[in-house]
Structure 1
Amino acid sequence: MKPDDDSVFRALADASRRRLLDRLHAKNGQTLRELCRGLAMTRQAVAKHLAILEEANLVSSRRQGREKLHFINPAPINAIAERWIAKFERERLTALSALKAKLEGDET
């Protein structure tokens, strides 16, 4: 099932989940034990946050022997960037380009 923007935004709204994504970005393919290391959260809390990230398709997991490895999936964040951020960026860049042209006296 493809997550909707709301589930991705809800998952990203929590600072603990963003921290887990940052840790996976720094070193992809970590176990729950590795992700818990150095965090002021219980193992159960980290597992719950990972489940929410998986529901939003921001994290995937794969069994490797007895361990379960977690991987970041940047595709939903990229989709949000393209849909929500890029359209606002285009207007800003167009305005900056027009301002630059006007300041340089090139009003074409």
Structure 2
Amino acid sequence: MPKYHDELDAVLRALADPTRRAVVERLARSPAVVSELAAPFSMALPSLMQHLRVLESAGIISSQKDGRVRTVTLRPGGLDVVHLWLDEQRTPAERQADRLGIHLTRTTRRERLT
């Protein structure tokens, strides 16, 4: 098991819910206040806050309160653990195909320049 197993589990559990994925997709565009995040969902604000707590405890988002306004942002690198795990699952054949694709792209560029 990789050393980041618990962190990976938390992130995948957080992203398993469609509401939380929608929040992450929205925050990928820009930070948002909670009321703005709640607008597209037909749920009570406490329910959305529970989703935000799950995302925050998984390290995917962070929030900052200024007076009565809470602003939520994606945490830089919050999804890196998933990327790392997926990269480790790739087969050697996929890695070789990727390297071949890079080589062919470079060769084609060189041929165009000459």
TM-score with structure 1 setting the length:
0.75
Task: Identify which of 66, 69, 73 aligns with 1:71.
Answer: 73
Q: Paired residues, what number? A: 97
Which 5+ residue runs of structure 2 have no aligned equivalent?
105-114
Contact 2:55 2:61 in 1 (8 A): yes
- Classify the secondary structure of the residue corresponding to 1:57: coil
| 2:38 matches 1:36 | yes
Percent of aligned pairs with the same amino acid: 27
1:21 CA displacement? 0.6
The code of the aligned residue for 1:56 comes to A
Runs of 4+ in 1 over 2 A off after TM superposition: 87-91, 95-98
1:89 CA displacement? 3.9
1:74 CA displacement? 4.1
Which 5+ residue runs of structure 1 have no aligned equivalent?
102-108
Alignment deviations for residues 23-77 of structure 1 (CA, whole Å, 9 cap, x no partner): 111221x111110112222212111100100110111111123211111114131
TM-score with structure 2 setting the length:
0.72
- Classify the secondary structure of the residue corresponding to 2:26: helix
1:16 CA displacement? 0.7
Residue 81 of structure 1 is matched in structure 2 by: 83
Residue 8 of structure 1 is matched in structure 2 by: 11
- Classify the secondary structure of the residue corresponding to 1:7: helix
